[in-house]
Structure 1
Amino acid sequence: MIQPQTFLNVADNSGALKLMCIQKKGIGNNSYAHIGDFIVVVIKEAFGCMNIEKSEVTIAIIVRMRQEFKRQNGTILKYDENAAVLIDKEGNPKGTRIFGAIIRELKLFNFTKIISLANEIL
């Protein structure tokens, strides 16, 4: 579960290194975000030579979470880190590559562009 003040790693090559969640976007009164949810983040660490700057506020999608994710068939997935992908206003990822494993349930949430950029799909 991702809540405000949670630090996340970046799973793409957009130029950011560390993110901090500010709030969950979308409907619902639950303050926790899960895999596939939009969150508002602030960039805490970034490369100096990219378009993204430190302390910039942007939107991201959660792609990996330390909390267990249970599938319909009963298998449980758990990652070692919390990770997100930065997106622009149209919903496209800012980076051109996605690092690490991505779950295939993101296809059900209509994030096919992120899945097509990923190296490994679980």
Structure 2
Amino acid sequence: MRGLAGRVTKALPSMARMDCCDNTGAKVVQLITVLNKGGVARRYPAGGVGDMIRVTVRRGTPETRRQIFNAVIVRQRRPFRRVDGTWVQFEDNACVLTNERGEVRGSDIKGPVSREAAERWPRIAATAKQIV
């Protein structure tokens, strides 16, 4: 994991479903767990923007369905506060499928990507068309 994590409000607990905003063939994915997260007893692991997670594909092409991938959350609906005092909120929850090192599996990312995720994962920043 590269970069600093930042204090983003964790919005997506385990079993949350979100859109996959790349061109790998996955449409809807389900969060299994958050990687490299020190947890608290009896608390569900939850992830926020910029976190690497493990997901399973629920809807997509037959080659990608029911497989497990790593992904990085790039958008979340819950508002989170930036250091300069502004609040950021997206209209959907979305992630991008990656490998273990954070390199994007697809060649295109649809929609905006949060600045927190782009600063933490340089390969996502290089592939993104719009960083908010």
Displacement of 1:53 in angstroms is: 1.9
**Residue number in structure 2 paired with 1:41:** 55
Displacement of 1:90 in angstroms is: 3.2
Asked whether 1:85 is paired with 2:99, we answer: no
Separation in 2, partners of 1:44, 1:118: 24
Separation in 1, partners of 2:118, 2:20: 20
Q: Which runs of at least 4 in structure 1 moved beyond 2 Å after TM superposition?
A: 105-108
The correspondence of residues 28-107 of structure 1 with structure 2, limited to 5 A, is: 28-29=38-39, 31-48=45-62, 52-107=63-118
Separation in 1, partners of 2:116, 2:102: 17
Displacement of 1:75 in angstroms is: 0.8
Matched letter for residue 26 of structure 2: A
Classify 1:107/1:84 alpha carbon distance in 2 versus 1 (closer, same or farther; 3 Å). closer
Structure 2 stretches lacking a partner, 5+ long? 1-10
Displacement of 1:4 in angstroms is: 1.0
RMSD (Å) for aligned C-alpha atoms = 1.3
Q: Name the SS for the 1:81 alignment partner.
A: coil
Q: Indicate the percent of aligned positions where both proteins have the same amino acid.
A: 27
**Residue number in structure 2 paired with 1:115:** 125
Classify 1:120/1:27 alpha carbon distance in 2 versus 1 (closer, same or farther; 3 Å). same
TM-score for the superposition, normalised by structure 2: 0.83
Asked whether 1:13 is paired with 2:23, we answer: yes
Separation in 2, partners of 1:106, 1:41: 17
Separation in 2, partners of 1:91, 1:107: 11
Residues 49 and 114, structure 2, Cα contact 8 Å, conserved in 1: no
Q: Name the SS for the 1:73 alignment partner.
A: coil
TM-score for the superposition, normalised by structure 1: 0.89
Structure 1 stretches lacking a partner, 5+ long? none
